[in-house]
Copies of this chain bind each other. A is one copy, B any other.
Amino acid sequence: MSIVFNPSVRCQLPVLLLLLQGILIGLFAVFLSYDELSSATSLANITVANTHDLDTYFPLFKDVQLMLFVGLGLLLSFLKLYGFGAMALNLVIANFSIQWAVLVQGFFYHYRDGKIHFGLENVMHAEFAAVTALISAGAILGRSSPVQLLLMSMLEIPLFVLNDWLINYYFHIIDIGGTVAIHVFSCYFGLGVSRILYRPGLRAGHSKNITTSTTDLLSLLGSIILWIFWPSFNSVLAKSAEARHRAVLNTFLALSFSTLTTFAVSSLMDKRGRINLVHLQNSILAGGVAVGASADMMITPAGASGLGCIAAFSCILGFQYISPFLERKLKVQDQCGIHNLHGLPAIFGTLGSILAILLDRVDTGGHNLHTGFTPDISIGKESLILDEVEVNGAWNATDQALNQAAALGVTFGVSLLGGYITGLLIKPPCLVHPSDEMCFDDQPYFQIPIDSEEKWSLNPKAQRELLVPLKQV
């Protein structure tokens, strides 16, 4: 029997998962110890992050959990025959990425005395890293196997941590909501992977690439859940209560104006004025992506609102004109339109943050933009950076604006190249991957019910034959 060399799900998925779990538990046993909040007193003047305690972090942690597992899980479940592929693989990719990021980020930022000091803060940061893998997976949804997605996450997480460290350490990027660090990175990484996994056979459409009213409605529900908790996501890393308050308000306004703009522009795009459901499911979130880089600045309520409008505009225009171009000309298939929701709005958001920095506006409240210049507690910020910054001394708006632009450029390059190479590494035919015919279909990976009353009358053998007409099994 040719079990070992056959790309069978049963041979590869359990082996890979059990192996990963075993290795992770082993490394946890050697390196992880609880991060006692009480023992942090001696370090109080260098690590601001320690002032975040359970009461502050735990509610936001649950918000992010809801976004990742319920919001994103539902949003991705829009395909008629690939609901479990979306929601359950989202669960497995997210969990593996979090476990893996706890270790990688731990070695980068929380390693002292031979131990990674592990607490809720680590899990939060690891969830932000996991978001990256989940967004990238959106580009190849339904066209890749769980095995490929797990390997992709394994490669993407360290690169994300490295790039995040780079743009924080060298460019002191202001990016409280991860507009560059998360959205730009994950988008172009995913598109890089997708370029390599390009399937010419899917160019003319696919009979299983369809939605139903119910799946589209649940997907919209998922989008709404992401929408509700996005202010938590963009504000969790704020360095003061005031900044957090502003981040919440600006994000809410950007999202709210994104939403109405989505209805307006999507209606305008259709000959009969009907809203496109794909626009609706995605573009209402564009404002949250865009405002991430400036959410804690004094960009004024009108500024946040306007940014939300622009973000939604760019998202819908992306779906209408850029996605078809990417597929036809550049051979990049983007199943969930991550370039429209994460790429374009994030670029506009970064430009917005540069503009806000250059304008250096002072609000009537007496706060000026310079308060935004002391680097915030970004994802995986090392305490060393704070010292570095204090040594650097003087700041000016032009330097910071250039830094923002440079960080955007670096992230673009790193992620695209990284995605390209990762795509090559997960492409080999020895790895499980669905045939063109079996794309967008749960059947290779899940024992799904036959949606008819005849199910129970079939004998088990006949059922199994019916369910799995797979070549690779």
Interface residues in chain A, defined as those with a beta carbon under 8 Å from any beta carbon in chain B:
8-11, 13-14, 17-18, 20-21, 24-26, 28-29, 32-34, 36-39, 53-55, 58-59, 62-63, 65-66, 69-70, 73-74, 77, 81, 83-84, 87-88, 91-92, 95-96, 98-99, 113, 115, 118-120, 123, 146, 205-207, 209-214, 216-218, 220-221, 224-225, 227-229, 232, 241-242, 244-246, 248-249, 252, 256-257, 259-261, 263-265, 267-268, 270-277, 280, 284, 298, 300-302, 305-306, 309, 363-367, 442-449, 451, 453, 455-457, 464, 468, 470, 473
Distance between A282 CB and nearest chain B CB, rounded to angstroms: 13
Chain B residue contacts of A29, Cβ below 8 A: 300, 302
- What is the distance, in angstroms, from A141's C-beta to the closest C-beta of chain B? 16
Q: Which of B8, B119, B275 contacts A446 (CB 8 A)?
A: B275
Taking a contact as CB atoms closer than 8 A, the residue among B18, B55, B271, B280 that contacts A88 in the complex is B280
- 21 A-B residue pairs with CB within 8 Å: A10-B267, A17-B260, A25-B306, A28-B302, A29-B302, A53-B241, A54-B244, A55-B241, A69-B228, A83-B217, A88-B220, A96-B260, A205-B456, A210-B449, A211-B449, A212-B449, A212-B451, A213-B448, A217-B218, A274-B443, A277-B448
Q: Determine the residue in chain B with the shortest Cβ distance to A443.
A: B274
Instruction: Tell me, in angstroms, the Cα distance from A115 to B365 when the chains sit together.
Output: 11
- Are the CB atoms of B34 and A69 closer together than 8 Å? no
Collect the chain B residues with CB atoms within 8 Å of residue A88's CB: 220, 263, 275, 280
Interface contact B210-A33, CB-CB below 8 Å? no
Nearest chain B residue, comparing its CB with the CB of A115: B364
Task: Decide: A274 near B32, CB < 8 A? Known: A120-B245, A242-B37.
Answer: no
Does A8 lie within 8 Å of B273, measured CB to CB? yes
Copies of this chain per assembly: 3
The answer to whether B11 touches A273, judged by C-beta atoms less than 8 angstroms apart, is yes
Chain B nearest Cβ from A272, distance in angstroms: 5
Q: Which B residues are in CB contact (< 8 Å) with A259?
A: 91-92, 95
* Among B33, B224, B245, contact of A69 (Cβ-Cβ < 8 Å): B224
Enumerate chain B residues within 8 angstroms of A284, measured Cβ to Cβ.
Answer: 91
**Told that A83-B213, A99-B257, A207-B453 touch, could you supply 15 new A-B pairs with CB distance under 8 A?**
A10-B268, A10-B271, A10-B272, A17-B267, A21-B309, A32-B300, A34-B246, A34-B300, A92-B260, A95-B256, A206-B456, A213-B442, A274-B445, A274-B468, A277-B448
What are the 7 closest A-B residue pairs judged by CB atoms, nearest first?
A10-B273, A9-B273, A29-B302, A17-B264, A28-B302, A36-B365, A32-B301
Name A274's contact: one of B118, B367, B446 (CB within 8 Å).
Answer: B446
| Residues in B whose Cβ lies below 8 Å from that of A270 | 10, 447
Chain B residues near A84 (CB-CB < 8 A): 213, 216-217, 220, 275, 277, 280
The interface centre, meaning the residue of A59, A88, A113, A115 with most chain B CB atoms within 10 A of its CB, is A88
Within 8 Å CB of A62, what residues of B? 63, 228-229, 232
Least Cβ–Cβ distance between A107 and chain B, in angstroms: 15
Question: A25 to B445, alpha carbons, bound, how many Å?
Answer: 49
Kindly state the separation between the CA atoms of A213 and B70 in the bound complex, as whole angstroms. Answer: 17
Within the complex, the shortest CB–CB distance from A15 to chain B, in Å, comes to 8
User: Contact between B264 and A451 (Cβ–Cβ < 8 Å)?
Assistant: no
Closest B residue to A15 by CB, please name it: B264
Asked if B242 and A36 sit within 8 Å, CB to CB, the answer is yes
Q: Does A38 contact B242, Cβ atoms closer than 8 Å?
A: yes
* A270 CA / B280 CA spacing, docked (Å): 39
- Whether the pair A241, B54 counts as a contact (CB closer than 8 A) is yes
Min distance, Cβ A310 to any Cβ of chain B, angstroms: 11
